[in-house]
Amino acid sequence: MAKVLDNPRPTIKERAAKLGGQVQGSQAWNSIFRPGSIFRKGYTDSPRNRSYVVMNSVLYHLHPVKVKRHAVKVSYTLCLGGLSFFLFILLTVTGIFLMFFYRPTAANAWQDIQMLQTSVTFGLLVRNMHRWGAHLMVLSVFLHMARVFYHGAYKPPREFNWVIGVVLLTLTLLLSFTGYLLPWDQLALWAVAVGTNMMGYTPVFGNQVRFVLLGGVEIGSETLLRWYVLHVLMLPFVIVIFMAIHFWRVRKDGGISGPL
Amino acid sequence: MTEIPEHLLKRAQAARQKAAGTGSADSAGSGERIPDALLDRTRAAGTSEKAAAVVAAGASAGLPVGAGPGGHTQRLLTVVKSGSIQEAKAAPVDKVHTWPHLLAVEFVAALACTAFLFVFSWVVNAPLLQAADFNKTPNPSKAPWYFLGLQELLTMFHPMIAGVTLPGMGLIALILAPYLDRNPSNKPEDRKFMTSMMTMFLMFWAVLVIIGSFFRGPGFNFIFPWRDGIYFEL
């Protein structure tokens, strides 16, 4: 009896604490959660650990360890560039979800969207988010451009990054426009008909441009497949490359512009 | 004149004290290591310091001409700090740590954006009209809203001008903006011309898009949305 009292069985709380200590002290844990991680035992809020948080994260090290004080103010950037990037990620995630339920053929496309909205769990919600997110991204990229212009942030040494920004704006519009056709409803078909007719008036090789874009002389199943591939693969691929250069150059050109 | 850093002054002070200490010890105890002639010279220089006529004293003791006080033939002219010979371009900038100052702001912004999109998508459904039908042309047929400015231009110009030339020129003007604007200032008061140019450019497109979106009805004829209804799908 006395023996039991001397050495009582550990409570669940104590066992959990011990287990937690063992896990967090293990080599595997420490090799994943580097110094400075909030998951690591003993995080203290020191300048060193604040630097580690950024340096040891594949996501955060897009940023430098330190940024100019005025750049942190929301009233300077309005977060527009960051939100454009965030919306792009959101659109990628929702877009991948939509791809599971969609076949880019004239016979199936519209029915698939209809099925997605009526029979797939959260299908309607995800499609709505993809559509409104796309419009929002066009808007935020456009506003980002206006913000950059009004702050004179396109001036040396950032003039080339501005050029890349204009390319990104164009790519955003193209991404949105190629996605517009995919539901294959009356709105999509005739909006794209109007748009591609305009492109047909390109001087010298207008007809060729139109033919390549439509995959024929008129909009049809080939157009749908072509724009689908452009929308889900080629344009995202290209825009990611340009985004990488855009973000890299922000840092190479000495961080964000300003203060005014 | 460059200010000599405090730690260097301290180091020099310590060295001088050490030299003075060992010097006296040497003269007292270990005379064999240093030739007597040199010790004599040191003593002579020490006395000549008080005599104030350095050169004369040096000459009388057989010192090289131009030796300084204490008989040193070298002098420390100045301490050159690294900043004064290396061209330092970076002026100190007021900076804060990215974590938590920037990442917290970004996190909140992303969260707010997601919440807004989520609620908006919950309430408003994306349009899905009848399946595409080549035999039924809707009236009016409109492009996506960001191209409605171009479609509006189509009512005024030949398609080659409205659809290709004007937007192409706009795009090229945007690309060339940093190369055309040679004014280095980013202060709003210094760049009123460019600011007003851009505002006119943006307003031009905004007005065209708004007209194309809300003020165009069947046959793409001009209407008033409050009288004839809205012919617009997102």
Q: Are A56 and A36 in contact (CB under 8 A)?
A: yes
- For residue A103, the model assigns a pLDDT of 96
Q: Is B103 left (phi over 0), alpha (psi -120 to 50) or beta?
A: alpha
Domain ranges of chain A: 19-66, 75-252
pLDDT on residue B164: 85
Q: Does B1 reside within a domain?
A: no
Same domain? B59 vs B145: no
Are both B78 and B101 inside the same structural domain? Answer: no
* B192 CB within 8 Å of a chain A CB: no
pLDDT at A142: 96
Residues A29-38 have pLDDT tens digits of 888 887 777 7
Q: What is the pLDDT of residue A5?
A: 63
Position A83 scores a pLDDT of 96
Residue among B97, B141, B164 minimizing CB distance to A203: B164
CATH of the domain at B221: 1.10.287
Query: β-strands A66-68, B95-97: how paired?
Result: antiparallel
The per-residue pLDDT for B54 is: 47
Tell if the CB–CB gap between A68 and B128 is shorter than 8 Å: no
Nearest CA in chain A to B115: A129
Determine the Cα–Cα distance for residues A230 and A239; give it in Å rounded to an integer. Answer: 11
pLDDT of residue A3: 57
Q: Could you tell me which residues come within 8 angstroms of residue B186 by beta carbon, excluding any fewer than 6 positions away?
A: A151, A152, A153, A155, A257, A258, A260
Å from B224 to nearest chain A CA? 22
Q: Does residue A49 register a pLDDT over 70?
A: yes
Query: Residue A14: what pLDDT?
Result: 92
Res B40: pLDDT: 82
Min distance B179 CA to chain A CA atoms (Å): 7
Q: Show residues of chain B in contact with A67, CB under 8 Å.
A: 95-96, 98, 101-102
Cα(B25)–Cα(A25) distance, integer angstroms: 59
Ranges A77-86, A111-120, B35-44, B77-86: which has the least confidence: B77-86
Return the pLDDT at A4.
57
Residues 204-233 in B contacting A (C-alpha not used; CB under 8 Å): 233
pLDDT digits (tens, 9 = 90+) for B63-112: 667 677 677 777 777 777 766 666 666 678 889 999 889 999 999 999 99
Number of domains in chain B: 3
Residue in chain A nearest B98 by alpha carbon: A66
Range with top average pLDDT, A60-69, A197-206, B79-88? A60-69
Residues B151 and B138 in one domain: yes
Is B65 domain-assigned?
yes
Please say which residue of B125, B146, B178 terminates a domain. Answer: B125
Optimal mutation site among B89, B95, B99, interface A, most CBs of chain A within 10 A: B99
Buried b (16+ CB within 10 A) or exposed e, B28-47: eeeeeeeeeeeeebbebbee
> Are the beta carbons of A195 and B147 separated by less than 8 Å?
yes
Across the interface, of A82, A128, A202, the residue whose CB is closest to B121 is A128
Let me know if residue B234 belongs to a domain. no
Contact status of B91 with chain A (Cβ, < 8 Å):
no
Say what the pLDDT of residue B203 is.
Answer: 95
Q: How far is B221 from chain A (nearest CA, A)?
A: 16
- pLDDT (mean) for A141-152: 95
Let me know whether B134 and B222 are in one domain.
yes
In this structure, the answer to whether residues B112 and B171 fall within a common structural domain is no
**B 10-39 near A (Cβ less than 8 A):** none
Categorize the per-residue pLDDT at B8 as very low, low, confident or very high, splitting at 50, 70 and 90: confident
CB pair distance less than 8 Å for A194 and B142 = yes
pLDDT of residue B27 exceeding 50, the answer is: no
Burial class (CB in 10 A: 0-12, 13-18, 19+), A64: middle
Q: Determine, yes or no, domain membership for B90.
A: no
Cα gap B25→B188, rounded to integer Å:
72
Q: Tens digit of pLDDT for each residue in A157-192?
A: 999 999 999 999 999 999 999 999 999 999 999 999
Q: In angstroms, rounded to a whole number, what is the distance separating the alpha carbons of residues A87 and B72?
A: 74
Does the beta-carbon distance from A132 to B106 stay under 8 Å?
no
Nearest CA in chain B to A183: B128
B132 or A33: which leads in pLDDT:
B132
Do A72 and B102 make contact, defined as CB atoms within 8 angstroms? yes
> Which ipTM value was assigned to this complex?
0.87
C-alpha span between A162 and A167 (Å, rounded): 9
Task: Check: CB of residue B97 under 8 Å from CB of residue A47.
Answer: yes
The mean per-residue pLDDT over the stretch A58-66 comes to 91
- Is pLDDT of B3 > 80? no
Q: What pLDDT does residue B66 have?
A: 67
Q: How confident is the model at residue B30 (pLDDT cuts 50, 70, 90)?
A: very low
- Any residues with CB less than 8 A from the CB of A118 and at least 6 apart, and which? A124
Minimal Cα–Cα distance from A166 to chain B, Å?
A: 6
- pLDDT > 90: what percent of chain B? 41
CB contacts, 8 Å: A83 with chain B: 109-110, 113
* pLDDT attached to residue B18: 87
Q: What integer best gives the mean pLDDT of chain A?
A: 91
Query: Alpha carbon of A87 to those of A25, A83, A187, B113, B116: distances in Å?
Result: 38, 6, 24, 8, 12
Evaluate whether B199 touches B108 at the Cβ level (below 8 Å). Answer: no
Q: What does the pLDDT read at residue B61?
A: 55
Residue-level pLDDT at B117: 97
Report yes or no on B233 lying in a domain.
no
B188-216 mean pLDDT: 94
> Which residues from chain B sit within 8 angstroms of residue A47, using beta carbons?
97
B194 and B113 part of one domain:
no
Alpha-carbon span B216 to B225, nearest angstrom: 8
CATH number at A75-252? 1.20.810.10
B139 and B104 both lie in a single domain = no
Query: What is the span of the domain harbouring residue B63?
Result: 6-85
User: What would the pLDDT profile of A217-237 be if each residue is shown by its tens digit?
Assistant: 889 899 999 999 999 999 999
Say which residue, A84 or A5, is predicted with more confidence: A84
Q: What's residue B44's pLDDT? A: 76
How many CB contacts within 8 angstroms connect chain A with chain B? 211
Confirm if B203 and B123 have CB atoms less than 8 A apart.
Answer: no
Which bin fits A78, alpha (ψ -120 to 50), beta or left (φ > 0)?
Answer: left
Contact A202 B164 (CB under 8 A): yes
pLDDT at B24 over 60: no
